[in-house]
Amino acid sequence: MNKRILAVIAVLLLALPFTAVFAQEGTLVDVIAGSADHTVLAAAVEAAGLTETLATGEFTVFAPTDAAFTAALEALGLAAEDLLASTDLLTSVLTYHVVAGTVTSDMVASGQVPTVNGASLTVSVSDAGVMVDQANVVAVDLMASNGVVHVVDSVLLTLNVDAAAVSGDIAAAGSSTVFPLAERLLADFVAEGYAGSMIIDSIGSGGGLERFCVEAASDIANSSRAIRDSEVEACAALATPRTPIEVRVGTDALAVVVSAENDFATDVTLAELALIFGSAANWSDVRAEWPAEPIQRFIPGTDSGTFDYFVEAVFEDDSAPILAMDPTTSEDDNVLVQGVQGSPFAVAFFGYAYYAENADTLKALSVEGIEPNAANVDAATYPLARPLFMYTDAGIVAEKPQVGQFLAYALSNVNNVVVEVGYFPAPAADLFAAKVAILKLMLGM
């Protein structure tokens, strides 16, 4: 690590309200036990039977504070005693925080670092500091006789899956927005050895949830909106009832796009979007300075979660205005892309990934002056950002372990590919909650 990074870290640490006092002598176990802010971690190490290991081997430990454990447990609806009593879950969690050997701050660099768990941590070093997965490193180089402790502000979790050991069929269906992300994760799963057969159908969020909750014909429902109460009730009414388990896999910035040949529209308000996709006949009906040319509308089909989300955000759940203008609809977002590419007076909305893939021929409009980009999505300021989900059920995972294994693989690897596909990472707390939910299913908890 260079001096600039070390200086930045020093400044950050001085600015943080961090009060842990470590013994900084004795073994790793002694160092952790000597901190008033790591009582949960100390208890967890003992409950998992890792005390002797961490007192004798040489390791680097990324140590979550009590506040980090409290936040994680609150998000999951678990008490500390529930975690401490779940030995398998606890061991999986703790060993992902441990790296073999002594890795001090001057040795840290961006990249993948294998853990005792068997999976690898993603370390990111920047001018803003050091991150391990989605956790910030807030204190460094707390030396022990057999290693070093670095303090992190979030609990880390992975789901270690050997793709080559997984077989059996998996059926997924749903959102066209989630489709490219699911397709990429499947391609990587296959490349790492998955020997089974998985089919992913792009039929819209509504169609996917109907196949999952009404027809019971799929194992995973992909959705670009949260499941509705009526769909949960339909799942419960099946001959073999299903209880949908929500898995947050990312965030989409729904893109409003025009052709790159459009030389007049760059930014719109939500009120103007209601006109563009509603009552306005010509572009000049939206703004007088825009051309008196008919608006050519291309929108996702009504079974699409993208359609539902846009109608909710722009038309307050009333789909009548947008459908009254007889837009061209399709469940295939590539059809919408082609429609906009064909005219400077066309407009569409769809998942950001389809815009990113065609950015040379399309132009994404700012909404309320805010561009659809990673910084604005992370800051929750872009008005049309939305969560992306996969849904499954405990009974499905029990009957078909490969479903849980694929979801485990997806959650452990999604942040490595989500930006490349064209979307944005889910909030760390949501991703952590999804990982624990799937891990509990796989362990039969």
Cβ neighbours for 59, distance < 8 A, ≥ 6 positions apart: 28, 98, 99, 100, 101, 102, 116, 146, 147
Residues 433/403, Cβ–Cβ less than 8 Å: no
Kindly report which listed range (1-10, 140-149, 205-214) carries the lowest average pLDDT score.
Answer: 1-10
pLDDT at 21 over 50: no
Question: For 421, which DSSP code?
Answer: H
Helices and strands in the chain, H and E counts: 19, 19
Please name every residue paired with 135 in a beta bridge, in sequence order, or none if there are none: 132
Grade residue 112 by pLDDT with cuts at 50, 70 and 90: confident
pLDDT, mean over the chain: 89
Of the candidate CATH numbers 3.40.190.10, 1.10.260.40, 3.40.50.300, 3.40.50.2000, the domain formed by 255-383 belongs to 3.40.190.10
Q: Note the pLDDT tens digit of each residue in 152-179.
A: 998 998 787 889 999 999 999 999 999 9
CATH number 3.90.78.10 is the correct assignment for the domain at 163-252+386-442: no
CA 47, chain centre distance (Å): 30
Kindly report which listed range (139-148, 191-200, 220-229, 424-433) carries the lowest average pLDDT score.
Answer: 424-433
For the ranges 61-75, 88-102, 168-182, the one whose mean pLDDT is highest: 168-182
Grade residue 30 by pLDDT with cuts at 50, 70 and 90: very high
pLDDT on residue 75: 63
Q: pTM above the 0.75 mark? A: no
pLDDT over 90 percentage in the chain: 66
d(CA 84, CA 52): 17
pLDDT on residue 117: 86
Cβ neighbours for 263, distance < 8 A, ≥ 6 positions apart: 344
Tell me whether domains 3-152 and 255-383 share a fold: no
Residues 350/248, Cβ–Cβ less than 8 Å: no
pLDDT at 300 over 80: yes
d(CA 174, CA 176): 7
Q: Sheet containing 328-330: which strands, arranged edge to edge? A: 328-330, 296-300, 346-350, 255-259, 362-364
Q: Looking only at Cα atoms, what is the longest distance across the chain?
A: 78
Read off φ and ψ for residue 431, nearest 5 degrees.
-65, -40
Q: Note the pLDDT tens digit of each residue in 371-393.
A: 998 888 878 899 999 999 999 99
Q: 3-152 has which CATH code?
A: 2.30.180.10
The size of the chain, in residues, is 445
Six-digit token string for 276? 């563009």
Grade residue 76 by pLDDT with cuts at 50, 70 and 90: low
pLDDT on residue 25: 67
Domain residue ranges in the chain = 3-152, 163-252+386-442, 255-383
pLDDT at 7 over 80: no
Q: Sheet containing 385-392: which strands, arranged edge to edge? A: 198-202, 170-174, 220-223, 385-392, 245-253
Q: Taking residues 252-263, report their average pLDDT.
A: 95
Q: Note the pLDDT tens digit of each residue in 314-344.
A: 998 898 999 999 999 998 999 999 999 999 9
pLDDT at 256 over 50: yes
